[in-house]
């Protein structure tokens, strides 16, 4: 039987197009500048590096999955009725940080909230919380690859910024 990639097949593996291209470019550059021995050394280094990360990745994926299974899928909208103060911005930021999934998940939600009349400062706080301190990306990418010291320093540096972005947005909107 002839094998033809179905749309679902493409959807499942489409996200790998960019990393495959990146590795292809890296392979060509490595072979061109370092030769076959340099390329093989890089291949081994990458594999060893990945193997050493495997336990962290497993723990990260399990933790993220259980978190995702417990978090409410809908109903984030009710978190946005919390008034106009800094408290409302902090809650919106936290809601953004725990929202899992890529822009496919977050932007339709933000568009719906905007249509429902939710104020721009809260929307910015939510979006910035999601993009800057999204827990899922921290657990699955940042912690395994960068280590905990880096994660702690970055969180400490960024944790207040979504609220600040919301405040700035309110300033901009008032004009």
Partner 1 sequence: MLVDYLMGAAACAAVGVTAIRDRARLRHALQIAVSTLGRTIPALFLAVLAAQLLTPLIPNKVIGGWIGPESGMGGVLIASAFGAIIPGGPVVSFPIVLIFQAGGAGSPQLIALLSAWSVVAIHRLAAFEVPLMGVHFALRRLAASLVLPPLSGLIALLLS
Tell me the C-alpha distance between 90 and 161, whole Å. 10
Count, residues near partner 1 per rule CB under 8 A: 81
Out of 3, 4, 15, 174, which residue is the one contacting partner 1 (CB under 8 A)? 15
Min. distance of Cβ 121 from partner 1 in angstroms? 9
Tell me the C-alpha distance between 37 and 102, whole Å. 39
Min. distance of Cβ 170 from partner 1 in angstroms? 9
- H-type alpha helices, 76-174: 86-98, 103-115, 120-133, 135-137, 143-146, 148-158, 161-174
Min. distance of Cβ 155 from partner 1 in angstroms? 10
Residue-by-residue DSSP string for 12-40: HHGGGHHHHHHHHHHHHHHHHHHHHHHHH
Number of residues in the chain: 175
Residues 96-135 that bind partner 1 (CB under 8 A): 102-103, 107-108, 110-111, 114, 120, 123-124, 127-128, 131-132
Out of 2, 67, 84, 92, which residue is the one contacting partner 1 (CB under 8 A)? 67
Residues 31-60 that bind partner 1 (CB under 8 A): 33-34, 38-39, 41-43, 45-47, 49-50, 53, 55-60
């Amino acid at each position: 039987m002839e094998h033809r990639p179905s749309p679902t097949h493409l959807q499942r593996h489409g996200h790998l197009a960019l990393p495959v291209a990146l590795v292809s470019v890296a392979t060509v550059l490595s072979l061109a500048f370092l030769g076959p021995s340099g390329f093989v050394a890089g291949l081994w280094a990458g594999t060893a590096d990945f193997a050493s990360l495997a336990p962290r990745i497993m723990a990260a994926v399990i933790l993220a999955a259980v978190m995702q299974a417990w978090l409410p899928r809908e109903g984030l909208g009710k978190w946005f009725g919390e008034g106009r103060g800094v408290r409302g911005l902090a809650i919106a930021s936290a809601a953004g940080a725990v929202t899992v999934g890529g822009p496919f998940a977050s932007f339709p939600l933000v568009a719906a909230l905007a249509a429902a009349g939710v104020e721009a400062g809260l929307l910015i706080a939510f979006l910035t919380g999601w993009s800057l301190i999204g827990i899922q990306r921290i657990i699955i990418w940042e912690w395994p690859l960068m280590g905990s010291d880096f994660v702690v320093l970055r969180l400490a540096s960024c944790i207040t910024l979504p609220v600040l972005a919301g405040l700035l947005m309110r300033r901009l909107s008032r004009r």
